[in-house]
Chains A and B, each alone.
Chain A
Amino acid sequence: MQKFYNILVPTDLSINSTAALDYACNIAKDSGATIHLLHCIEIIPTMHNRGPKGPKATPDSLNKASKEIKKILENFPADNLNIIEVVKSGNPYDQILNYAKDGKIDLIVLATHGSGKLINSVMGPVAEKVTRYSDIPVILVKSSLLSLPKDFKQGNTAAAESWAR
């Protein structure tokens, strides 16, 4: 039976999508795997960003995404876990699949929004395409954190209780 060494967790930086990180952390705790938290800045080609190597994200947007990822990680009890933060630009599912191949990933954990209107949600088409084209095992977890307050942190029970109500 194969052990997991590298787990890829794609995130669109929403609380819903990072719910997958929680599951991945639990798997990594047992297996000692490294988590690769990947955010992809989706760039729609325009007259201004078109170039020989395709559209690129601006340094500002890359920095902003990096900061957002760090903020997400502050809320995770990731003691003794090795988490690599990765920011890429381009088509999300292409980037996820390319990174999975290049980064020797052996498991992808991806959150879905569970809204029922999958095709219209942000992560839905990405999850569907990753599932369709990935040769690597994929776990799609339904996020139930649809309206989690922004100030939710571990220990902030008042915010959690209010959300639960």
Chain B
Amino acid sequence: MKKLKKILFYSPDFNLCLSLLVYLQDKYNITTTTDLSILEAVSENSTVDLVLMDTEPSGVIEKLCENIRVKNSEVPIILTYVYKNQFNEFEKKMKTLVNSIFYKPYDLNEIALKMNSLMVQ
């Protein structure tokens, strides 16, 4: 049996976690979490092929991405959120830490394509 790529998805919204899990479970080995601390622990210590985060940029998220980059530099990170001008300050730095940013509303197919291309690299 073909081993599926492991995706870790974080969102504080449980319904979004469940929806994305249902959408992606046929193609990927997916874990979703509403707990930011587990995202950090799992992505630093485990063999995760991609991290997908649905959260607004902030100092906390910036620090988290930096930690992931230090301990697991190869793992691709995708960030999704609703664009607001006030995030400009964080966005410049975030763009150096994550592989891709999608603004809401987004097309899930586009994200799926991006995920595939990042995991092939």
Contacts and interface: CB of A to CB of B under 8 A. Distances in A.
Interface stretch (B26-34, B89-97, B99-107, B111-119): B26-34
Contact of A140 (B4, B26, B33, B47): B33
B4 A135 contact: yes
A127 B41 CA distance: 10
Contacts of B36: 142
Contact of A128 (B29, B32, B45): B45
Contacts of A132: 42, 45-47
Interface in A115-154: 115-119, 124, 127-128, 131-132, 134-135, 137-142
A118 B58 CA distance: 21
Given A1-B26, A112-B37, A137-B25, A131 B32 contact: no
A75 B29 CA distance: 33
Interface stretch (B15-23, B67-75, B77-85): B15-23
Interface of A: 1-2, 23, 27, 107, 112, 114-119, 124, 127-128, 131-132, 134-135, 137-142
Interface of B: 4, 8, 14, 17-18, 21-23, 25-26, 29-38, 40-42, 45-47
A116 B34 contact: no
Contacts of A128: 38, 41-42, 45-46
- Most chain A CB inside 10 Å of its own CB: which residue of B34, B36, B45: B34
Contact of A134 (B14, B18, B25, B31): B31
A1 B31 contact: no
Given A1-B22, A1-B23, A124-B41, A131 B46 contact: yes
SS of A interface (majority)? mixed
A141 B34 contact: yes
Contacts of B22: 1-2
27 contacts: A1-B22, A2-B22, A27-B18, A112-B35, A112-B37, A114-B35, A118-B38, A118-B40, A124-B41, A128-B41, A128-B45, A131-B38, A131-B42, A132-B45, A132-B46, A134-B29, A134-B31, A135-B29, A137-B21, A137-B29, A138-B30, A138-B32, A139-B14, A139-B31, A140-B31, A140-B32, A141-B35
A107 B41 CA distance: 21
Given A134-B29, A139-B21, A141-B14, 5 more contacts: A1-B22, A116-B37, A117-B37, A128-B38, A137-B32
A34 B32 CA distance: 21
Nearest to B47: A132
